[in-house]
Structure 1
Amino acid sequence: MPANKKYLTRSPWQRFAKITAGFIGGYMVTTSVHIALAFWLDHVNVIMTLRYAGFLLWGALLILAFLAKNGWKVWGIYLLLTLFFAVFIYLGKTYNPLV
């Protein structure tokens, strides 16, 4: 059964933004979350968790990028989330330098 045409993205730029936000942006958020957790928790356990939970989180972020109407807003949200977790990575390096 074909998709309803009114729900499909017509703009090639929006399609490009959604695809890249889903793949690249979702991957950036996923890795930044797990690296931030690795600096604050036991890094061996977090790396083992990244193998499975990372794939699930990346897949969920990939799907969420396609559910939005504007792909550029999704890019903005993913970049802000990555920056937010980058701050936690910096604070983790500062306050837990031995990890």
Structure 2
Amino acid sequence: MPANPKYLNPSFWPRFSKITAAILGGYFVSVTFHLAIASWFNRPEVLMTTAFTGFILWVVLMVLAFLAKSGWKIWGIYILLSLVFLLLIYLGQTYNTTA
């Protein structure tokens, strides 16, 4: 039984944007999220758990990217989340420095 044509996406760019958002965007969000947590809490413990939770979060973000209607919208969401986490990293390193 062939797939319903209305669910197939024949053009290259929407498919490419979803694939790159899943792989690269999900990775950026996962890494910046864990670095933001590490900048506010005990760094060695957070970085040890990142080996496991980082991969799980990355896979979840990959699945979410393929469930989205538009690859460009999910790219925008992932870039926005990464920028928010980068701001949290900056604030965490600014306010939690041990001299």
- Flag whether TM exceeds 0.5 (same fold): yes
Q: Output aligned runs, 1:32-71, within 5 Å.
A: 32-71=32-71
Q: Which residue of 2 is the match for residue 84 of structure 1?
A: 84
Post-superposition shift, 1:11?
1.9
Give structure 1 regions of 4+ aligned residues with deviation exceeding 4 angstroms: none
CA RMSD, 1 decimal: 1.6
Post-superposition shift, 1:98?
2.6
Structure 1 gaps, min length 5: none
Q: Which residue of 2 is the match for residue 73 of structure 1?
A: 73
Instruction: Give, in whole Å, the separation in 1 of the partners of 2:37 and 2:48.
Output: 12
Post-superposition shift, 1:4?
3.6
Equivalences, count: 99
TM-score normalised to the size of structure 1? 0.93
TM-score normalised to the size of structure 2? 0.93
In the superposition, relative to structure 1, how do residues 94 and 56 fare at CA in structure 2: closer, same or farther (>3 Å)? Answer: same
Post-superposition shift, 1:8?
2.4
Structure 2 gaps, min length 5: none
Matched residues, percent identical? Answer: 56
